[in-house]
């Protein structure tokens, strides 16, 4: 028994099989129901090993214009005239097809973006399918969501999405837009175009009328061209607060509507009467889920001083059991950082954190040499003024502070220009509700964290954004209301 591998070593590799489907070596743009070759291409790589997966089209102003025109034509001649129940049926079809091909999408999401297969398989893809299913049902019921008003479509929507939940963000944008009678031009993030392109193939198989959904892959300029296009009636954007402000500038005075899902620096508050073991799991999930590439990540921990040592000890122990490695290995807990750029950004902020005087801790687990990786990291001895506490790192880095009273916790938690999410851990119900109603955040989790559901509205206050996605409230962004 002394030489038992299971006791001494790691777990045997459990690679997800990838041989049951194929990825194209190159993809075109999906415009007007056709695959249109772009004048330029660019490569998309696997951040876990820097290998090229495929080439995709780089849409320029010309192609963006084509796409907007196709969306407008589809809106005016087909989609706005279609009975609402039929719109719903198309969305149901997309949902069912996504459920059927779920595994392929999960694998490609992990390959292209770096997140562990367990997450893409168990969270991203099922939620994406659920979003389509949920919004399919709204298509012919919109009047019930707006008492006393007649909801009408807006028209053509331009949508820019980020690289942290590529397929899920596409679902969050496309499903409600179509349910409410709009057509879309969607620009996936530069580093993660593949699942959106697979979605386009799926949409073809669902026989969705041409031009209702258009996918234009590209980089920053493609997104800019879309935002600035005069043929767009509304912009939906998820990304950094900085870019969100640029978009506001670009749309100011144009009459375009907009919704913005931006950054966050959520406070996760642990009281002494919290269920400690559950709270530790919640902290871990809050900041290390998806490598911390989550706008609503619990990146600031506030732990009540009386239990701080205990919580820190348990946190470190638990982090030691996390496996950082190959995203396609089913044992992996933490995957690759999405890109070299993001890795550099995380590294530089962590360097600043050390220089500011915060105490850095990382566990000693091994990480792969090739590819983009960052170990789960804790900073203790943080002060409210530290940049590591104020700025969004968007990586597996947790800034820890202590507090003494609920009032202090609230004040510090709210002391930020952000306002996306927050967490509270306590066994006392009245305290939970007091805290949640005092936090300036669009989504507050009590005794849980990072929970998402298509029926539950998501979105931020203050500089975390404007508007909500999901739920009854999320429909407002995609309708014009006739009173």
Partner 1 sequence: MSALRLAVSMLDLTTLEGADTIGKVRQMCEKAKYPLREDSSLGPVAAVCVYPRMVRAAVQGVEGTSVRVAAVATQFPSGQMRLKERLAEVKYAVGEGADEIDMVISRGLFLQGQYRAVFDEIAACKQACGKAHLKVILETGELSTFDNVRYASDLAMAAGADFIKTSTGKVQPAATLAVTLVMLQAIEDFYERTGRMVGMKPAGGISNAKLALQYLVMVREVLGAKWLTNRWFRFGASSLANDLLMQIRKQETGCYQSGNYFTQD
Partner 2 sequence: MTIPKTYKLFINGQFPRTESGRVLEIRDQKGVLIANASRASRKDFREAVSAARKSFEGWKKTTAYLRGQILYRIAEVLQGRKGQFVDELRMQGVKNPESDVDASIDLLVYYAGWSDKYQSVFSSVNPVSSAHFNFTSPVPVGVVSVISPSSLSLLSLVSVLAPIIVGANTCVILSHLSSISFAEVLATSDVPAGVVNLLTGQRAELVGEFARHMDVNSTLLCSDDQSEIGAVERDSISNLKRLVIRPDCSLEPSPYPIIDFQEDQTTWHPIGV
Which one, 13 or 62, has the nearer CB to partner 1? Answer: 13
Query: Could you tell me how many residues of this chain bind partner 1 (CB under 8 A)?
Result: 10
Given partner 2, partner 1, none, residue 7, with its beta carbon under 5 to 8 Å by kind, binds partner 1
State the binding partner of 21 from partner 1, partner 2, none, CB within 5 to 8 A by kind: none
The answer to whether 394 touches 293, Cβ cutoff 8 Å, is: yes
CB of 45 to partner 1, least distance (A): 32
Q: Taking CB under 8 A as the criterion, which residues in 316-375 touch partner 1?
A: 321
Taking CB under 8 A as the rule, which mask of x and - marks residues 419-448 in contact with partner 2? ---------xxxx-xx--x-----------
Active site annotation includes 295: yes
CA torsion angle 271 360 263 469 (round to 10): -50
Question: Considering only residues 83-122, where is the footprint of partner 2 by CB under 8 A?
Answer: 85, 88-89, 92, 96
* 140 lies in the site for partner 2, by CB under 8 A: yes
Catalytic residue among 16, 119, 190, 261: 261
242 is catalytic: no
CB burial class (10 A; 0-12, 13-18, 19+) of residue 250?
Answer: middle
CB-nearer residue toward partner 1: 304 or 372: 304
Contact 38, 30 (CB under 8 A): no
Confirm if 21 and 46 have CB atoms less than 8 A apart.
no
3-11, 253-261, 353-361, 385-393 -> range binding partner 1 (CB under 8 A)? 3-11
Asked if 11 is part of the footprint of partner 2 (rule: CB under 8 A), the reply reads no
Contact code string over 4-43 relative to partner 1, x by CB under 8 A? xxxxx--x--------------------------------
Sign of the CA dihedral with 337 first, then 343, 346, and 347 last = positive
Q: Should residue 482 be labelled a site residue for partner 1 when binding is judged by CB under 8 A?
A: no
Q: Which two tokens stand for residue 315?
A: 């946190």
Residue 426, helix vs strand vs coil: coil
- Closer residue to partner 2 in complex, CB, 401/438: 438
Q: Rounded distance, CA 182 to CA 415, Å?
A: 38
Q: How far is the CB of 271 from partner 2 (least distance, A)?
A: 9
Would strands 34-36 and 29-31 be described as parallel, antiparallel, or unpaired?
A: antiparallel
How many residues in the chain?
A: 483
Instruction: Report the DSSP pairing between strands 479-482 and 150-153.
Output: antiparallel
- By a kind-dependent CB cut-off of 5 to 8 A, residue 77 interacts, out of partner 1, partner 2, none, with none
26, 77, 143, 277: which one binds partner 1 (CB under 8 A): 277
Closest CA to 176 of 470, 415, 459, 442: 470
Please select the residue that binds partner 2; options are 64, 111, 130, 185, rule is CB under 8 A. 130
Question: For partner 1, which is the closer residue by CB, 317 or 404?
Answer: 317
Task: Check the CA dihedral 308-297-14-370 and report its sign.
Answer: negative
Residues with Cβ < 8 Å from 106, sequence gap 6 or more? 16, 117, 120, 121, 124, 125
Given a contact cutoff of 8 angstroms between Cβ atoms, the answer to whether 114 and 170 are in contact is no
Residue 273: alpha-carbon gap to chain centroid: 32
Contact code string over 296-315 relative to partner 1, x by CB under 8 A: -----------------x--
């Amino acid at each position: 028994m002394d030489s038992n591998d299971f006791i001494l070593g790691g777990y045997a590799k459990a690679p997800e099989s990838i041989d049951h489907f194929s990825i194209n070596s190159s993809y075109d743009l999906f415009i007007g129901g056709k695959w249109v070759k772009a004048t330029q291409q660019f490569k998309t790589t696997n951040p876990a090993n820097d290998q090229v997966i495929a080439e995709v089209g780089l849409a320029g102003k010309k192609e963006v214009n084509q796409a907007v025109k196709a969306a407008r034509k589809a809106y005016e001649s087909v989609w706005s005239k279609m009975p609402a129940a039929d719109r719903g049926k198309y969305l149901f079809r997309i949902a069912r097809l996504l459920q059927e091909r779920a595994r392929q999408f999960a694998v490609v999401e992990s390959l292209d973006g770096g997140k562990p297969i367990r997450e893409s398989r168990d969270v991203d893809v099922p939620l994406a399918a659920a979003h389509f299913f949920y919004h399919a049902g709204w298509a012919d019921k919109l009047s019930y969501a707006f008492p006393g008003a007649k909801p009408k479509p807006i028209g053509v929507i331009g949508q820019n999405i980020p690289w942290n939940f590529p397929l899920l963000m596409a679902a969050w944008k496309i499903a409600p837009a179509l349910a409410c009678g709009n057509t879309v031009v969607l620009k996936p993030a530069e580093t993660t175009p593949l699942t959106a392109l697979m979605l386009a193939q799926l949409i073809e198989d669902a026989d969705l009328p041409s031009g209702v959904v258009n996918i234009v892959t590209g980089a920053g300029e493609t997104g800019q061209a879309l935002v600035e296009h005069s043929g767009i009636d509304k912009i939906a954007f998820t990304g950094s607060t900085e870019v969100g402000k640029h978009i506001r500038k670009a749309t100011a005075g144009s009459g375009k509507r907009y919704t913005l899902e931006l950054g966050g620096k959520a406070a996760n508050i642990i009281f002494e009467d919290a269920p400690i073991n559950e709270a530790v799991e919640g902290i871990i999930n809050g900041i290390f889920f998806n490598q911390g590439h989550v706008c609503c990540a619990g990146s600031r921990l506030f732990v009540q001083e009386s239990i701080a040592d205990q919580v820190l000890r348990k946190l470190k122990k638990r982090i030691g059991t996390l496996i950082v490695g190959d995203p396609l290995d089913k044992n992996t807990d933490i995957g690759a950082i999405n890109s070299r750029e993001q890795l550099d950004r995380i590294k530089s902020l962590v360097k600043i954190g050390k220089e500011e005087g915060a105490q850095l801790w990382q566990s000693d687990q091994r990480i792969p040499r090739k590819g983009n990786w960052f170990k789960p990291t804790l900073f203790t001895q943080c002060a409210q003024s530290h940049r590591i506490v104020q700025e969004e790192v968007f990586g597996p880095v947790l800034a820890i502070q202590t507090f003494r009273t609920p009032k202090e916790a609230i004040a510090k938690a709210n002391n930020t220009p952000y306002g996306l999410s927050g967490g509270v851990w306590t066994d006392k119900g009245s305290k939970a509700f007091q805290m949640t109603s005092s936090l300036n955040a669009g989504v507050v989790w009590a005794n849980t964290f990072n929970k998402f559901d298509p029926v539950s509205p998501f979105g931020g206050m203050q500089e975390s954004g404007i508007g909500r996605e999901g739920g009854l409230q999320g429909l407002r962004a995609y309708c014009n209301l006739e009173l």
